Amino acid sequence: MAKLLLVRHWGKRKIVVVTRVYADVANKFAASAWGKKLARQAAKAKQTDFDRFKAAIVKAKKARAVRKVRRALRADKKAEQLACLHWSWRL
């Protein structure tokens, strides 16, 4: 269960900061999905042109590898279907 921060809405800044540090709010937020999303966005915003180029190259290589595997699987499936068709035709 989440820990409740007991700070009055008119609490002094010092009390609020100490309570946030004690409750480890920043690290918990960074570990959440929203915090991870913001971290990813910040990292992507800091990318240089060369970083984006390298990412595009990696993405293209991965797509090429996936395409190669899918083609092989498709060819195997097609060969299997033709083999089944061939044998059923003979019967």
Stated length of the chain: 91
In the prediction, which pLDDT does 42 show? Answer: 96
Domain ranges of the chain: 12-46, 48-91
Of residues 76 and 89, the one with the higher pLDDT is 76
How do residues 32-86 score in pLDDT, each as one tens digit?
999 999 999 999 999 999 999 999 999 999 999 999 999 999 988 888 877 776 6
The pLDDT-based confidence of 1 (bands split at 50, 70, 90) is very low
The pLDDT value given to residue 45: 96
Segment 9-19 shows an average pLDDT of 75
The DSSP-derived string for the chain is -PPP----TT--HHHHHHHHHHHTHHHHHHHSHHHHHHHHHHHHHT--HHHHHHHHHHHHHHHHHHHHHHHHHHHHHHHHHHHHHHHHHH-
